[in-house]
Structure 1
């Protein structure tokens, strides 16, 4: 008799456990006497009868259905196995891990901005995380009509609304279109809350949302890079000088073409401007010969240090010792 009983026994388990599967429903709905339940790490087993949860088993291990499981089921405690009869029940295995999904915008998002009438075309990418947190809602909305549910199913649903959410939170409060990375955390927090509302009815929750980077069209990126370079140097004229000098030194501006002529002309003008500045500064300063050409006299007048007639040096005499020219003033 025990031999025939074992023929009817079965094993209730999620044998082909997949990391990308959110839940899997055991296909054989009839549990026989002598059957056993196997729960692996990262799984919960939910017994369902007539669409109603009878029991949730979370501890990993191997259990006998008739002695370890049946006594704990809510409405089936008095169930008695017969020789040819079994208990018709569904067993839903749920993956309890936190799932990580990479996302990215497939097409540029046109963010309204005054600088560009057609909108700023922006791409973004990052990750989001979710997990199952409500078995009742999961069974009612999803597991009741599906045999399994994949992470890809959730990804398709959420990425379909990401473009609108990115536009909403980037445009909110006048975010700087050219420095969105500085506001990435605030934008991500807002999107996470909105995405959570998309999956909460299905018994899941968004545990995290990150924006790794924003990207602009190459023309916009070049403009941002050039603007940053100007700000870093702080002087546009100096930036032009450095750029032109670097071009000539690297050989990029050579020959007798227009670029070379323009470079030479700009460098010549810059050098001439610097010479004029130096000359003007020099004219404003008094010459040493002028300040030292005369000294006060003890008689109240001034005596010349050098003879204005022949240029001979004077040691304080009233007349030039070389030509006799009167020196006192």
Structure 2
């Protein structure tokens, strides 16, 4: 008899699980007496009857539906399994993890800027994160008409409006077009808030949005690099000197051409200027010494001044080099 009964039993579980699947619906089948519910880690099981949520089960495990699940269902608590009939409900399995998705602009976005009449063509890439947070909205907007939903479906929806949001937040408050990476956190924060408003009515929320890099056209990138190098050196004349010196050292500037001649002339002028500076400094030092030849003698006489009283007998001196009383030498 028990073998006969088991023919009607079934297992309610996520049969087509994929890591990139947001939800999957077990439907169009009856739950028989003796059936079991299997919930795996990272899954929630939602029992739905006539579009209404009967119960939500979040703990992983293997459950007997008759004894462990039905008593907790809203309107089906008193359901009794008949011999030839079962309980017809839908079970929606939801992936509860946070999904991470890579994104990138398919085409360059022309950001309006006064510097370029046609706009600045920019590409960008990064990641965004999302998860399911409202089962009622999810069932009402998506799961009510779909049996499954993939991460790719959300990605298509997000990427379709990213170009507009990037243009909005890059252009906002006059962002520096040539240093967008410095403002990437602020730009990403604004985009995250806008994206969240776009999908929150579907029962999902954006938990993170990151911009990994901005990419400019090759010529614009070269200009940015050259501008940065000029800023590091600070003075265009010094930059030219460094460029010329590097060219001579590397052998790029050589031969009898105009570039080599100019390089040699500039280097010769620099050496001559340094020599003139050194000669002028030495000449000034010699003139200063010649103008004060008696400085050492004056210092000596000042240092050997005749005392007012003889250090030997104490007699008041009269200005001579020897004491008039005892003959002591005074200087």
TM score, norm. by length of structure 1: 0.84
Q: Give runs of aligned pairs for residues 42-81 of structure 1, distance below 5 A.
A: 42-81=42-81
Distance verdict in 2 for CA 1:119–1:276, change over 3 Å: farther
SS at 1:83 equivalent: coil
SS at 2:239 equivalent: helix
SS at 2:207 equivalent: strand
Return the alpha-carbon distance in structure 2 between the equivalents of residues 18 and 7 of structure 1: 29
Return the alpha-carbon distance in structure 1 between the equivalents of residues 282 and 80 of structure 2: 117
Return the alpha-carbon distance in structure 1 between the equivalents of residues 83 and 150 of structure 2: 38
Query: 1:185 and 2:185 equivalent?
Result: yes
SS at 1:120 equivalent: strand
Return the alpha-carbon distance in structure 2 between the equivalents of residues 236 and 260 of structure 1: 20
Distance verdict in 2 for CA 1:293–1:76, change over 3 Å: closer
Structure 1 range deviating more: 233-242 or 137-146: 233-242
Equivalent residue, structure 1, for 2:147: 147
Q: Give runs of aligned pairs for residues 16-95 of structure 1, distance below 5 A.
A: 16-95=16-95
Equivalent residue, structure 1, for 2:263: 263
Return the alpha-carbon distance in structure 1 between the equivalents of residues 149 and 64 of structure 2: 27
For the Cα contact (< 8 Å) 2:27–2:89, is it kept in 1? no
Equivalent residue, structure 1, for 2:329: none
Task: Deviation per CA, 1:89-140: give whole Å up to 9, x if none.
Answer: 0110000000000111111111111111111111111111000000010011
Return the alpha-carbon distance in structure 2 between the equivalents of residues 273 and 289 of structure 1: 23
Q: Report the alpha carbon displacement of residue 277 of structure 1 after superposing the two structures with TM.
A: 5.8
Equivalent residue, structure 1, for 2:287: 288
Return the alpha-carbon distance in structure 1 between the equivalents of residues 268 and 112 of structure 2: 45
- RMSD between aligned alpha carbons? 2.2
Equivalent residue, structure 2, for 1:203: 203
Q: Report the alpha carbon displacement of residue 29 of structure 1 after superposing the two structures with TM.
A: 2.7
Equivalent residue, structure 1, for 2:217: 217
Distance verdict in 2 for CA 1:65–1:289, change over 3 Å: closer
Return the alpha-carbon distance in structure 2 between the equivalents of residues 117 and 260 of structure 1: 39
Return the alpha-carbon distance in structure 1 between the equivalents of residues 151 and 292 of structure 2: 96
Distance verdict in 2 for CA 1:188–1:72, change over 3 Å: same
Return the alpha-carbon distance in structure 2 between the equivalents of residues 153 and 66 of structure 1: 36
Equivalent residue, structure 1, for 2:245: 245
SS at 1:173 equivalent: coil
Unaligned stretches of 5+ in structure 2? 296-331
Distance verdict in 2 for CA 1:116–1:98, change over 3 Å: same
Q: Give runs of aligned pairs for residues 298-317 of structure 1, distance below 5 A.
A: none
Return the alpha-carbon distance in structure 1 between the equivalents of residues 18 and 258 of structure 2: 66
For the Cα contact (< 8 Å) 2:130–2:206, is it kept in 1? yes
Equivalent residue, structure 2, for 1:327: none
Equivalent residue, structure 2, for 1:159: 159
Task: Deviation per CA, 1:123-176: give whole Å up to 9, x if none.
Answer: 111111000000010011101111110001100110111111011001111111
TM score, norm. by length of structure 2: 0.83
Return the alpha-carbon distance in structure 2 between the equivalents of residues 178 and 284 of structure 1: 52
Equivalent residue, structure 2, for 1:137: 137
